[in-house]
Amino acid sequence: AQTVTQSQPEMSVQEAETVTLSCTYDTSESDYYLFWYKQPPSRQMILVIRQEAYKQQNATENRFSVNFQKAAKSFSLKISDSQLGDAAMYFCAFISPGGGADGLTFGKGTHLIIQP
Amino acid sequence: DAMVIQNPRYQVTQFGKPVTLSCSQTLNHNVMYWYQQKSSQAPKLLFHYYDKDFNNEADTPDNFQSRRPNTSFCFLDIRSPGLGDAAMYLCATSRDGTGLGNTEAFFGQGTRLTVV
Q: Which domains does chain A have, with CATH numbers?
A: 3-115 (2.60.40.10)
Three-state DSSP class for B59?
A: coil
Contacts of B106 in chain A (CB under 8 A): 47
Asked if B107 lies within 8 A of A99 by C-beta distance, the reply is no
CATH label, B4-115, candidates 2.60.34.10, 2.60.40.10, 3.30.70.1140, 3.40.630.40: 2.60.40.10
Model confidence at A2, in pLDDT bands (50, 70, 90)? Answer: confident
Asked if B42 lies within 8 A of A91 by C-beta distance, the reply is yes
Model confidence at A103, in pLDDT bands (50, 70, 90)? Answer: confident
The C-alpha atoms of residue B11 and residue B7 are separated, in whole angstroms, by 9
Give residue B31's region: left, alpha or beta (phi > 0; psi -120 to 50).
Answer: beta
Q: Could you tell me if A25 lies within 8 Å of chain B, comparing CB atoms?
A: no
Model confidence at B97, in pLDDT bands (50, 70, 90)? Answer: low
Q: Is the pLDDT of residue A99 over 60?
A: no
Q: Label residue A58 exposed, middle or buried (CB < 10 Å: 0-12, 13-18, 19+).
A: middle
Q: What is the DSSP letter of B99?
A: S
Q: Which pairs with CB-CB distance under 8 Å and at least 24 residues apart come from B43-50?
A: B43/A45, B43/A91, B43/A104, B43/A106, B43/B90, B45/A102, B45/A103, B45/A104, B46/B76, B48/A100, B48/A103, B49/B74, B50/A100, B50/B96
Contacts of B102 in chain A (CB under 8 A): 99
Closest Cα of chain B to A30: distance in Å? 14
A46, A97, A107: residue with CB nearest B98 = A97
Mind listing the pLDDT tens digit for each residue in A8-51? Answer: 999 999 999 999 999 999 998 888 999 999 999 876 899 999 99
In chain B, what are the domain boundaries?
4-115
Q: Is the pLDDT of residue A100 over 70?
A: no
Q: Could you tell me if A36 lies within 8 Å of chain B, comparing CB atoms?
A: no
Q: Which of A106-110, B57-61, B110-114 has the lowest mean pLDDT?
A: B57-61
In terms of CA atoms, which chain B residue is nearest residue A40?
Answer: B109
Mind listing the pLDDT tens digit for each residue in A54-92? Answer: 888 999 999 999 999 999 999 999 999 999 999 999 999
The C-alpha atoms of residue A50 and residue B104 are separated, in whole angstroms, by 9
